[in-house]
Amino acid sequence: MLVDVLAREKNVPREIVFGALEMALASATKKKYSEDIDVRVHVDRNTGAYESFRRWKVVPDDALETPPAQIPLAEAQKRKTDAKLEDFIEEPLEPIEFGRIGAQTAKQVILQRIRDAEREQILNDFLSRGDELVTGTVKRMERGSAVIESGRLEALLPREHMIPKENLRVGDRVRAWVMKIDRQARGPQLILSRTAPQFIMKLFELEVPEIEEGLLEIKSAARDPGVRAKIAVFTNDKRIDPIGTCVGMRGSRVQAVTQELAGERV
């Protein structure tokens, strides 16, 4: 079955592909009607056969706003005596023949839904590792922001979270801190920052093993991105010089951080 092929190829659950197919068929069916109706499609998971239903959401009698897709409670209970608010009243639709445009619409919906699911899976794999830094290359620029590619993962570095005077180009290697996950975008997306105080803290964790080992602790950080930065470090071990440890032999550790921050003085 084509569904199984797509599921394996895109590394997404079989049910996701079926859901995408149902959404696509519903979208293509709706285009056959002049009204903005609500359509539900069910695809048999074994045979691939599908059924289409027009449905109306049950709303309070005085709250009807979209007649093609809503039905007052009193009328709904005439059709189905146990109907309740938020239920759906359905009636079967005759199977329709999809023309070229309908087929194209269905294909677009399926591919977009699968892409979204694929991005979700890739993102979940990344989050499961507990990483807070992303290292990748600039894949493309979008209105001043950079799309960063790291393996199969794509993330967005907004222009306002780039270090000032930093001129990123396609192909540049970039490291940034994972600021948040934007689930409002088309498909979930990691939003990165190179200006956040947390970024410099994570860089020092990479360069200073004593921090990862728990011998040193970064209490706080403050930055004027691209100009200067300060970190406050603390240790309970009197044998350790916290500042000297972070600076490193001949300044090697702090220089590595400064280089990553485009010359920002620490």
Work out the angle at residue 22's Cα, subtended by the Cα atoms of residues 20 and 25, and round it to the nearest 5 degrees.
Answer: 110
Name which of 67, 61, 66 is nearest 83 in CA terms.
61
Per residue in 213-264, pLDDT (tens digit) is: 888 889 999 999 988 889 998 888 888 888 888 888 888 899 988 888 888 8
147 and 96 within one domain: no
Per residue in 20-45, pLDDT (tens digit) is: 888 888 888 888 888 889 999 999 99
Domain boundary among 89, 117, 145: 117
Residue 126 lies in a domain: no
Domain boundary among 174, 193, 212: 193
The residue range of the domain holding 209 is 197-260
Which pair of structure tokens corresponds to residue 126? 């990344």
Give the number of other Cβ atoms within 10 Å of residue 262's Cβ.
15
Which pair of structure tokens corresponds to residue 74? 């009193």
Give the number of other Cβ atoms within 10 Å of residue 250's Cβ.
7
Q: Which of 10-14, 89-93, 229-233 has the highest mean pLDDT?
A: 89-93
Residue 122 lies in a domain: no
Distance from the first to the final alpha carbon of the chain:
59
Residue 265 lies in a domain: no
CA dihedral 112→114→117→121, nearest 10 degrees, is -130
16 and 111 within one domain: yes
- Residue 112's pLDDT band, with cuts at 50, 70 and 90, is confident
Instruction: Tell me what the mean pLDDT of segment 164-180 comes to.
Output: 91
Rg (CA), the chain: 27
Whats the size of the chain, residue-wise?
A: 266
Q: How far apart, in Å, are the Cα atoms of 156 and each of 68, 121, 189?
A: 40, 17, 7
What integer best gives the mean pLDDT of the chain? 87
Give the number of other Cβ atoms within 10 Å of residue 138's Cβ.
17
Which pair of structure tokens corresponds to residue 47? 């045979």
201 and 176 within one domain: no
Alpha-carbon dihedral sign for residues 105, 108, 112, 118: positive
Residue 266 lies in a domain: no
225 and 172 within one domain: no
Pairing of strands 228-234, 50-59: unpaired
Q: What CATH number should be reported for the domain holding residue 215?
A: 3.30.300.20
242 and 159 within one domain: no
Those residues whose C-beta lies under 8 Å from the C-beta of residue 30, and which sit 6 or more positions away, are 36, 37, 39
Number of domains in the chain: 3
